[in-house]
Amino acid sequence: MKNIAVILSGCGVFDGAEIHEAVLTLLAIRQAGASYQCFAPDKSQLHVVNHLTGDVDETASRNVLTESARIARGDIKPVTECDVDEFDAIILPGGFGAAKNLCTFAVDGDQSRPDAEVLAVCKAFAEARKPAGYACIAPALAASVYPQGVKLTIGNDEATATGINAMGAEHVNCDVDDVVIDNEHKLVTTPAYMLAQDILEANAGLTKMVKSVLAMK
């Protein structure tokens, strides 16, 4: 049975991991006959968003690992404990947390800086030639992980794609139910809720991403 490391970025689309994407990814992994272990950085979120109103709560502070534990039902570890030798692949669901807590793309665009601990883990998988899947906006982080020219997608948003290209990646437009595969770097990306208007649309691409990652040798 293949074992997959999953990195989460909080809990909630506007300031953490996109919950539907995270759960659908975990479900797809298990339905494909693989197992998973969730990880997250143990640090404060960039900010906390009221998901009912969309407003930032300037007085609140939440921890990325603690919030991610909500999705993982408590079975989660600090990202520093992710040992590449124990896993066959790594997958990162999206949500704004991927661009706010795992890197600074949401704030800094093409000057984005990855979280050092997350980058170390993701680079370890890349350098070990182990497959990886990045969904939604998470490919903005992948642009900092992989060499210049790596092919990836966030869908078809021109401004976001331009920022990612400026970081050295090669963005490829992609439909919501499809994936972009860079076989040279063993990277699979899918737009998910960068394009999805419905949970079924998100599920189609995420499931294809998981299956493509697991099929890589």
pLDDT, tens digit (0-9, with 9 covering 90-100), for 107-162 = 999 999 999 999 999 999 999 999 999 999 999 999 999 999 999 999 999 999 99
Closest to 170 in 3D by CA, of 156, 183, 188, 153: 153
Cα angle 123, 35, 79; round to 5: 35
Q: Which CATH superfamily is domain 3-215 in?
A: Class I glutamine amidotransferase (GATase) domain (3.40.50.880)
Residue 16 pLDDT exceeds 90: yes
Confidence class for position 217, pLDDT limits 50, 70, 90: confident
Q: How many Å apart are CA 183 and CA 149, to the nearest integer? A: 12
Do 192 and 94 touch, CB atoms closer than 8 A? yes
Region 31-52 average pLDDT: 98
Q: Model pTM?
A: 0.98
Q: How many Å apart are CA 161 and CA 151, to the nearest integer? A: 11
Q: How many Å apart are CA 195 and CA 152, to the nearest integer? A: 15
Structure confidence by residue, pLDDT tens digits, 182-203: 999 999 999 999 999 999 999 9
Mutual angle of helices 199-215 and 19-31, in 10-degree steps: 40
Residue 38 annotated as catalytic = no
What are the Cα distances from residue 182, in Å, to 104, 132, 171, 179, 187?
A: 24, 10, 11, 10, 5
Do 216 and 89 touch, CB atoms closer than 8 A? yes
β 151-152/170-171 pair status? parallel
Question: Residue 181: exposed, middle, or buried by beta-carbon count in 10 A (0-12, 13-18, 19+)?
Answer: buried
Choose the catalytic residue: 11, 82, 103, 136: 136
Region 159-176 average pLDDT: 98
Closest to 213 in 3D by CA, of 176, 178, 177, 186: 186
Domain ranges for the chain = 3-215
